[in-house]
Structure 1
Amino acid sequence: MAGTMQLTNVLKTLADPTRRAVFERILQEGEVAATGLVRGSKVSQPAVSQHLRALRDAGLVAERREGRHIHYRVAPKGLSPLIDWLGHYQTFWQERFENLERLLKESE
């Protein structure tokens, strides 16, 4: 049950396009201060803070404090519930594609 709740939380968190953009920016930059995420974006500082909190609560980012600044980086293990779930369906679809390929070869 906990795995299902974690997956749901990750999916809900990444469903928001702005939050996903913040996550992707952190991923691209490796580590970035919260103030750096506000600069160059059309999102206000309070909104960025709210998105960062959601990402942190979902286990998708980790933070490091340096004085008054908080630096964020992607926490790869946070994506584990999603990767595991997709892995299950990868096997499902791989088998279906193999069956389809076999059927097409037989019909030639």
Structure 2
Amino acid sequence: MTDTNQMRDVYVAVADPTRRELIRLLADVEELPLHKLTSQFQMGRTAVSKHLTILKDAGLVLDRKVGRETLFRLDPTPLREIQDWVAFYSKFWTTNMLRLNQLLEEEEE
């Protein structure tokens, strides 16, 4: 990524436990205002806003203003990149586990 491209890496965005919890909270509802999200954490509104900004930059969270309130919702589309990456390596583990199982069976004989 270049300096002019402000999009953050989806892996960086989900690396933090607070951001993963924000994703989980937003996955359970259509939208949540900032004050309700903040009430779920032992940190202030500014800290939660910073985490939401990172998620927004990665394309995982969308926001919209309704009066004085900002509502946030999840856009899970970028999570497909992670799902695809994990799926690739799960093939590796499945293959290796089958090989290990074969070796163990041969050893038993």
In the superposition, the TM-score normalised over structure 2's length comes to 0.80
The answer for unaligned runs of 5 or more in structure 2 is: 2-7
Provide, for residues 61-89 of structure 1, a one-character-per-residue CA deviation record: whole Å limited to 9, x for no partner: 22233222222222111101111111110
1:56 Cα deviation (Å)?
0.8
**What is the identity percentage for the equivalent residue pairs of Structure 1 and Structure 2?**
36
Looking at secondary structure, tell me which structure has more helix per residue.
1
Q: Within 1, Cα distance between the matches of 2:72 and 2:50?
A: 13
- Residue matched to 1:4: none
Judge conservation of contact 1:61–1:78 (CA < 8 Å) in 2: no
Q: Which runs of 4+ in 1 moved over 4 A?
A: none
Provide, for residues 20-71 of structure 1, a one-character-per-residue CA deviation record: whole Å limited to 9, x for no partner: 2222222234421111111242111111111111101111122233222222
Tell me how large the CA RMSD over aligned residues is. Answer: 1.9
- Residue matched to 2:47: 47
- Residue matched to 1:35: 35
Structure number with larger C-alpha Rg: 2
Is 1:76–2:83 an aligned residue pair? no
The answer for unaligned runs of 5 or more in structure 1 is: 2-7
Provide, for residues 1-29 of structure 1, a one-character-per-residue CA deviation record: whole Å limited to 9, x for no partner: 9xxxxxx8112112222222222222234
Q: Report SS of the residue matched to 2:28.
A: helix
Q: Within 1, Cα distance between the matches of 2:102 and 2:91?
A: 17
Q: What amino acid maps onto 1:22 in structure 2?
A: L
Judge conservation of contact 1:61–1:74 (CA < 8 Å) in 2: yes
In the superposition, the TM-score normalised over structure 1's length comes to 0.81
